[in-house]
Structure 1
Amino acid sequence: MTQVDLSSEIGAALPYLRRYSRALTGSQTSGDSYAAATLEAVLADRSMVAEASGAKAGLFKVFHGIWVTTGAPTIDEDDGPRAAAQRHLQKLTTNSREALLLHTIEDFSVSEVGEIMQIGDEEASQLIDVARQEMADQISGRVLIIEDEAIIAMDLESIVADLGHRVTGVARTRDGAVKLGASDVPDLILADIQLADNSSGVDAVNDLLRELGQRPVIFITAFPERLLTGEKPEPAFLISKPYSEDQVRSAISQAMFFSSTETLKA
């Protein structure tokens, strides 16, 4: 692979590393700091990526080399939502969240997860299974779905219910979402970007957060790379259309660990 090809593949994979890093930390600011440190390391020594099975896997492997050296997040002294989230995270089996995110959200194979985390395939598979169970057992709550396609909305309702959460309602428009949110306050919002009346799911979410205060948000879009440019505040949790059930399950479980996330601004 030439230097030009390698640079191109790293550039294409970088938005997804930033998505993964934000989901892992629950914060755009913290996640992007890890992604920036990873890119600096790669620019200093591109062989770390070139020697991997693929440029994307190599980029994520470098990230994990940095991630594991920082140790577990330090619990804040106060009892705020971030501290509560960190306490939840400390109860999970070491490395299980990372394995689950890599496999379900970033669509790496079990073998690639093992390569990135520098563990065997069997251990990677076990960590994925453990994470699913532990996160499902930790937190349940109320979920508002903002989705204008009836079939997709029904599918999301089923996934949410199977995870033990309660769906507060399904909104097809920005105004409808605000009304539903006010009548039955959700713990988490799952929102499409483009709604039935050409209104924006991003605007709907921002309206809700202004009225209800901060809470986890998961955005759904067919073009995630358009929302991962780094040019403006972005969602910490983002899944792509078409999505898999595992992706939605994982994103919901991850988001429920954090009682606030940075989201897109209109």
Structure 2
Amino acid sequence: MQPRTPRRLRLLVVEDEVIVALAIKETVEDLGHEVCGVARSEAEALRIADAHRPDIALMDVQLAGPVDGVEAARRLRADLGIRSLFLSGCADHATLARLTASYPLGVVHKPFSSAQLKVALDLASRRLRLPAAVPAGA
């Protein structure tokens, strides 16, 4: 029996550093996925996500504006049902605890390789097909 190939995903990149966001976008597209938008802040992420309904948000912890990526991910999930995969350079215990409490699809630590992102996206794609075990408002 052949393993199932993960499906092509539509992604929203949420990253405040423009050069990093473009590099992520290029990597995601090289992996065969579609980027439907790039946002620098929670407000931008919510607006783009509402208009384009991505499958996943690739979310940095540090964002432009007063709201960080953990709260932005919580809002995307609660308001629009969109789950996040974190791409973050933050590895301190408090931040990781907050990430875990937001029920992400995964966490990839920066700097990351294309292979690491591919594995994380493949796993996220499979997790999206599972029945939801955690309420959207959690």
Normalization by structure 2: what TM-score?
Answer: 0.80
How many residue pairs get matched?
Answer: 130
Structure 2: 5+ residue stretches without partners: none
Change (3 A) 1:188 1:236: closer
Mapping for residues 53-202 of structure 1, pairs under 5 Å: 92=3, 137-202=5-70
1:181-230 alpha-carbon deviations (Å, 9 max, x no partner) = 000001111000011224211111111112222x4421122123424449
In the alignment, structure 1 residue 203 sits paired with structure 2 residue 88: no
What SS is found at the alignment partner of 1:243?
coil
* 8 Å Cα contact 2:76/2:83 also seen in 1: no
1:91-146 alpha-carbon deviations (Å, 9 max, x no partner) = 53xxxxxxxxxxxxxxxxxxxxxxxxxxxxxxxxxxxxxxxxx6xx3311210110
- The match for 1:217 is 84
Shift of 1:246: 1.7
**Equivalent-residue separation in structure 2 for 1:203 and 1:149 (angstroms):** 18
Change (3 A) 1:261 1:188: farther
In the alignment, structure 1 residue 239 sits paired with structure 2 residue 108: yes
* 8 Å Cα contact 2:41/2:67 also seen in 1: yes
* 8 Å Cα contact 1:159/1:249 also seen in 2: no
**Equivalent-residue separation in structure 1 for 2:92 and 2:106 (angstroms):** 13
Structure 1 segments (4+ residues) deviating >3 Å: 227-230
Residue of 118, 124, 134 corresponding to 1:249: 118
Change (3 A) 1:166 1:155: same
- The match for 1:120 is none
**Equivalent-residue separation in structure 1 for 2:11 and 2:57 (angstroms):** 6
- Whose radius of gyration is greater, 1 or 2? 1
Return the structure number with greater relative CO, CA threshold 8 A, min gap 6: 2
**Equivalent-residue separation in structure 2 for 1:157 and 1:195 (angstroms):** 16
**Equivalent-residue separation in structure 2 for 1:144 and 1:156 (angstroms):** 10
**Equivalent-residue separation in structure 2 for 1:154 and 1:189 (angstroms):** 15
Normalization by structure 1: what TM-score?
Answer: 0.44
What SS is found at the alignment partner of 2:73?
helix
CA-based RMSD: 2.6
Structure 1: 5+ residue stretches without partners: 1-89, 93-133
Quick one: which amino acid aligns to residue 242 of structure 1? P
In the alignment, structure 1 residue 258 sits paired with structure 2 residue 114: no
**Equivalent-residue separation in structure 1 for 2:49 and 2:133 (angstroms):** 17
1:144-183 alpha-carbon deviations (Å, 9 max, x no partner) = 1100111111111111112221111000001000000000
What SS is found at the alignment partner of 1:258?
helix
